[in-house]
Chain A
Amino acid sequence: MAVHEAQAYKDDGTPEEQSRRTFLANATLAVGGVIGLVLTVPLVVSLIPESLLSPDKSAGGSWADLPKDALKQIAAKPGTPVNIQFSFQYADGYFPPATDGQSVWGVKLSPEQVTNFKAKRPDLFGNPADEVKYPALDATLGFVLFSPICPHLGCRFAWNAEADRFICPCHGSQFGLEGDKLAGPAPRGLDPLPFRDKDGQAQVTWIQYKSGEPDRVIVAYS
């Protein structure tokens, strides 16, 4: 409608006027491009999460205290995993650090079971460097702590005393006392958590591993 009503467009004018219009059209598009660029860069960068910009910030994690009697509880039942509840400080986004609850499976191993453990878990003890990477087993104390999260797809498994093994309710993965995979779809054995005895106080570092992969990939520490 406007096309045929618009007077100004009926005559294309002199070549000078035409080339001036071409310049104005290009200049208008260029100005738009500059504004778009100046805006796009900071806006897109603002979406990059802190964890991608400085992935090492939380690396290594921190130590959380287990309950005072945790070691006693585990030691009281040699050969039977004990579920230990504990709490730790966890910072979620912009919220101030808050107390978050978690649990781990603690197992007391006899010297003989320690030998078994090393034999059954080549994924943890395959080469000496890995021992540093997964300081799950304190050889002198004979304790090991497992993350309660199934390495298959992240369900919570539990110790089944009758079957004498860990069984995950979601997809039926089964693991032995040493965390070695016995059956089911899980791609790897149970994930150990770093653990230490600090002047009589048992401490653990909570680590979230990526599920569904044969290799142990750390997703987050706290």
Chain B
Amino acid sequence: MSVLTWIEQRTGLVSQTTDFLTEDVPGGASYWYVFGSATIFAMILQIITGIFLTFYYAPSTASAWESTSYIYHNVPFGQFVISLHFWGATAMIALLLMHLLQVLLWGAYKAPREIMWVIGVLLLVITLVLGLTGYLLPWDMNAYFASQVAINIASSVPIVGNATQQFLSGGPGIGTLTINRFYGLHVWLMPAALVLLTVGHLTIFRHNGSAGPPVDHDLKRLPQGRFWPNQMFMDAAASFAVFAIIVLLAIFSPAPFDVKADPTKQFIAYPAWYFLALYGLLRVAGQTPQAIQPIANLLATVVIPGAFVTLLILLPFIDRNPSRQLSRRPWILGLTALSLVFAIGLTLYSQLAVQKEQAEASEGGAPAAAAAASNTLGGKTSAGASSTVGTGGGGSQVATTGGTGTGKGEQIFTQNCASCHQANGQGQPGVFPNLAGNKDVVASDPKGIIHTLNYGLAGKVIDGKTYAAQMPAWKGNLSNDDIAAVITYIRSSWGNKASAVTTAQVAASTK
């Protein structure tokens, strides 16, 4: 008696699996049918990588960024795993949208598959909620400010807005309770709902059978293909292609990770690409005349997105046209095309607007600290984030304090250095060196530290320890005067008692 027979007799699992895989594919197997299974593959990838991230991630304001940073810099393959999760989210949403579009075009939502369609739209909504809640968890600058925008949108709803906003944040503002809530949603509630509804989606799929090509005659009269192994092979090939792309992106374009959220800093938040269309709608509303702006905002944030989702859910009940043939469904085709044009147009519009604002801001110097520090983390700025460091803003702030050399140095340190080395100079073990008592900082000859400030540092052993992060080069981003002031500051703070450094000494340092 074989092992399989033994198992079969006790569980029935073998025959149930065979039964599940034995399925007609009307018209034969096709690469057109891979979007649903590829979405499920992406979902499984998200669940697996997500589980491994929870072995390190800890939700609270004191640990969210710190534990994410630990995953990035200390955990072996940590950056790879978190980047798989990052790109997996993008893949899952992209595949879901393709799947939805195909079902829409092929009329596969029509009777008897209305409930399957409704569940599918709910799965899309849940996946978007997962994207939104996951965005906050790293607790870096963009996580903080993008979530601030999302929560404020919720608060703009009339009557229930304030309660909704507080319910989402767990309090009057975004804080440690918000992280906990988003964590609970992202890690427990939404994945559980996602898996349960997916099981329902698949059960109904098996009940109704494959929808087949968009034709109006009886599908049973088409030649039938086999689900296993013919369609499964195509599903596997598509999933493999998706996986290969995600892996390559994770290796060559790791997930962005910025400095820790700092509500006192100015920062231009940018949403994930799948929310850019909604963000664009909000921007359009912001440009309407003052008088109608409250109404326009309400339309942009609640009414239009809400109506769109409601319409999607109700689609099989509104569209009673029994035909699935494209040529007989001009209205649906026209509306789909129109929605696509609007969505893509709004996405491009807000992408360009965000890029422009970020470029302007970095020229003005306002979010300089954030942009500069994000470079510090191995140069992993996201595509949209600005990467230049402005000096204008810093300079003007220094001028207003008008303090002594040390006062100015402290200002520059707070703005440019403290996000990594911390305000107390302690840094972070294994990532950012401690400056207090650091031999290189307090050396009687300051040439070394001047060189480090001017030209950066990477991979050097400091005081017997190695550090994961790179020190960026500041020459050109800070003036010689500023560099001298900040070196003087770090050489005379936190118990350090080394000599001051002059502008001339900084200028004399060469690569």
Tell me the A residues contacting B by CB distance below 8 Å: 1-3, 5-9, 21, 24-25, 27-28, 31-32, 34-35, 38-39, 42-43, 45-48, 50, 53, 91, 93-97
Contacts and interface: CB of A to CB of B under 8 A. Distances in A.
Contacts of B239: 31, 35
Contact of B48 (A25, A31, A34, A43): A43
Given A1-B19, A46-B81, A94-B67, A31 B228 contact: no
20 contacts: A1-B19, A5-B24, A8-B226, A25-B228, A31-B240, A38-B247, A42-B77, A42-B80, A43-B49, A43-B52, A43-B81, A46-B52, A46-B76, A46-B78, A47-B55, A50-B74, A95-B62, A96-B429, A97-B426, A97-B429
A2 B230 contact: no
A36 to B, nearest CB: 10
Interface of B is mostly: helix
B416 to A, nearest CB: 19
B492 interface: no
Contacts of B429: 91, 96-97
Which of the listed residues B49, B77, B81, B422 has the most CB atoms from chain A within 10 Å of its own CB? B77
A3 B236 contact: no
Contacts of A7: 24, 220, 224
A34 B66 contact: no
A21 B76 contact: no
A28 B247 contact: no
Contacts of B351: none
B206 interface: yes
Q: Which range contains the number of B residues in contact with the other chain?
A: 35 or more
A8 B81 contact: no
B339 to A, nearest CB: 34
Contacts of B240: 31, 34-35
A6 B22 contact: yes
Interface in B1-60: 18-20, 22-25, 45, 48-49, 52, 55-56, 58
Query: Which of A5, A53, A94 gathers most chain B CB within 10 Å?
Result: A94
Contacts of B23: 2, 6
Given A9-B226, A46-B76, A46-B78, A94 B63 contact: yes
B225 interface: yes
Nearest to A54: B466
Contact of A39 (B48, B62, B70, B422): B48
A3 B22 contact: yes
Contact of B230 (A21, A46, A50): A21
Nearest to B206: A2
Interface string B56-91: 101000110011011000111110110000000000
Given A3-B18, A31-B236, A94-B63, 9 more contacts: A2-B206, A8-B25, A9-B22, A9-B226, A21-B229, A39-B48, A91-B429, A93-B67, A94-B58
Nearest to A53: B76
Interface in B405-428: 422, 426, 428
A6 B24 contact: yes
Nearest to B70: A94
A3 B22 CA distance: 6
A94 B78 contact: no
A27 B232 CA distance: 10
Interface in B422-474: 422, 426, 428-429
Nearest to A95: B66
Contacts of B272: none
A8 B225 contact: yes
A7 B74 CA distance: 55
> What does DSSP make chain A's interface, helix, strand, loop or mixed?
helix
Contacts of B426: 96-97
Nearest to B73: A94
Nearest to B69: A94
Contact of B19 (A3, A25, A42): A3
A193 B30 CA distance: 71
Contacts, number: 99
B500 to A, nearest CB: 28
A94 B243 contact: no
A31 B81 contact: no
Contacts of B101: none
A35 B422 CA distance: 41
A43 B250 CA distance: 14
A222 to B, nearest CB: 12
Nearest to B429: A91
Contacts of A91: 429
A166 to B, nearest CB: 35
Contacts of A93: 67, 70
Contacts of B70: 93-94
Contacts of A8: 24-25, 224-226
A28 B69 contact: no
Given A2-B22, A94-B67, A28 B225 contact: no
Contacts of B63: 94-95
B257 to A, nearest CB: 13
A35 B236 CA distance: 10
The 9 closest A-B pairs by CB, nearest first: A94-B70, A42-B77, A25-B229, A8-B224, A24-B233, A24-B229, A7-B224, A31-B236, A94-B66
Contacts of B353: none
Given A96-B429, A97-B426, A45 B76 contact: yes
Given A7-B224, A28-B233, A45-B76, A96 B52 contact: no
Contact of A47 (B22, B52, B237): B52
Contact of B422 (A27, A50, A96): A96
A133 B502 CA distance: 48
Contacts of A43: 48-49, 52, 77, 81
Nearest to B65: A94
Most chain A beta-carbon contacts within 10 A, residue among B58, B232, B247? B232
A2 B25 CA distance: 12
Interface string B209-231: 00000000000100011101110
Contacts of B74: 50, 94
Nearest to A13: B226
Given A8-B24, A38-B247, A48 B228 contact: no
A28 B232 contact: yes
Nearest to B15: A3
Interface in B181-234: 206, 220, 224-226, 228-230, 232-233
A43 to B, nearest CB: 5
A99 B440 CA distance: 24
